[in-house]
Amino acid sequence: MSMATNSKSSPGNRAEGRDAMLLSDLDVTVEPMADLGQRTWFKTGGRADLLVTPQSVEALATLTRRAWHDDVPVRLLGGGANLLVLDEGVDGLVVSLDAPAFRLLQVERGGASASIRAGAGHDLFALMHELNRAGLGGLEHLAGIPGTIGGAVVMNAGGTYGDTAQALTTVEVMDARGDLAIHERASLECSYRHGGIPSGIVTRATFRVEPTDPATLRKKFQELFSWKKSRQPFAASSAGCMFKNPIDPLSGARVSAGLLIDRAGLKGLRSGGAYVSPVHANFMALDAGGTATDIAALANVVVARVLDHSGVRLEREVVFWGRHPA
Helices 57-69, 11-23: crossing angle, 10 deg rounding: 140
Section 112-121 average pLDDT: 94
pLDDT of res. 325? 54
Q: How many C-alpha atoms does 219 have within 13 Å on its Cβ side?
A: 4
CA 291 to chain centre: 20
Identify which of 7-11, 124-128, 300-304 has the greatest average pLDDT. 300-304
Amino acid at 150: G
| Inter-residue contact 276 to 261 (CB < 8 Å) | yes
| Inter-residue contact 117 to 108 (CB < 8 Å) | yes
Asked whether residue 18 carries a pLDDT value surpassing 70, the answer given is: no
Bigger pLDDT: 134 or 2?
A: 134
Taking only the tens place, the pLDDT of each residue in 20-32 is 678 889 999 999 9
| Inter-residue contact 209 to 157 (CB < 8 Å) | no
Taking only the tens place, the pLDDT of each residue in 75-106 is 999 999 999 999 999 999 999 999 999 999 99
Instruction: Among 99, 129, 148, identify where a domain stops.
Output: 99
pLDDT of res. 30? 95
Closest listed residue to residue 206, CA positions, set 139, 278, 293, 290: 139
Question: What is the number of domains present in the chain?
Answer: 3
Q: 56 lies in a domain?
A: yes
b vs e for 198-219, b when ≥16 Cβ sit within 10 Å of the residue's Cβ? eebbbbbbbbebebbeeeebbe
pLDDT of res. 257? 97
* DSSP-H helix ranges across 202-291: 214-231, 257-263
| Inter-residue contact 267 to 276 (CB < 8 Å) | yes
Closest listed residue to residue 134, CA positions, set 168, 105, 170: 105
- pTM comes to 0.89
210 noted as active-site residue? no
Bigger pLDDT: 51 or 220?
A: 51
pLDDT of res. 314? 98
Q: Are residues 114 and 212 in the same domain?
A: yes
CA pair distance 209, 233, nearest whole angstrom: 30
Q: Are residues 113 and 204 in the same domain?
A: yes
Q: Are residues 217 and 194 in the same domain?
A: yes
Instruction: Indicate which CATH number applies to the domain containing 203.
Output: 3.30.465.10
Asked whether residue 4 carries a pLDDT value surpassing 90, the answer given is: no
The parent domain of residue 148 ranges over 103-227
31 noted as active-site residue? no
Q: 183 lies in a domain?
A: yes
Q: Are residues 221 and 117 in the same domain?
A: yes
Asked whether residue 14 carries a pLDDT value surpassing 80, the answer given is: no
Instruction: Among 201, 227, 253, identify where a domain stops.
Output: 227
Instruction: Among 227, 255, 287, identify where a domain stops.
Output: 227
Length of the chain: 326
Closest listed residue to residue 141, CA positions, set 244, 204, 225: 225
Question: Model confidence at 326, in pLDDT bands (50, 70, 90)?
Answer: very low
Asked whether residue 179 carries a pLDDT value surpassing 80, the answer given is: yes
Closest listed residue to residue 170, CA positions, set 180, 149, 185: 185
CA pair distance 199, 321, nearest whole angstrom: 18
140 noted as active-site residue? no
Asked whether residue 6 carries a pLDDT value surpassing 60, the answer given is: no
Q: 62 lies in a domain?
A: yes
Asked whether residue 69 carries a pLDDT value surpassing 60, the answer given is: yes
Asked whether residue 1 carries a pLDDT value surpassing 70, the answer given is: no
Q: 1 lies in a domain?
A: no
Instruction: Indicate which CATH number applies to the domain containing 280.
Output: 3.90.78.10
Q: 206 lies in a domain?
A: yes
Q: Are residues 209 and 301 in the same domain?
A: no
Which of the following is catalytic: 14, 193, 218, 263? Answer: 193
User: Mapping DSSP to helix (H, G, I), strand (E, B) and coil, where does residue 25 land?
Assistant: coil
Q: 218 lies in a domain?
A: yes
pLDDT of res. 255? 96
| Summary mean pLDDT of the chain | 90
Q: Are residues 316 and 262 in the same domain?
A: yes
Percent of the chain topping pLDDT 70 = 93
Helices 214-231, 124-134: crossing angle, 10 deg rounding: 150
Q: Are residues 169 and 238 in the same domain?
A: no
Q: 145 lies in a domain?
A: yes
Asked whether residue 161 carries a pLDDT value surpassing 80, the answer given is: yes
307 burial type by CB count under 10 A (0-12 exposed, 13-18 middle, 19+ buried)? middle
- Tell me the backbone φ, ψ of residue 173, rounded to 5 degrees: -125, 135
Q: Are residues 256 and 154 in the same domain?
A: no
Taking only the tens place, the pLDDT of each residue in 228-279 is 777 888 767 888 899 999 998 888 899 999 999 999 999 999 999 999 999 9
| Inter-residue contact 236 to 145 (CB < 8 Å) | no
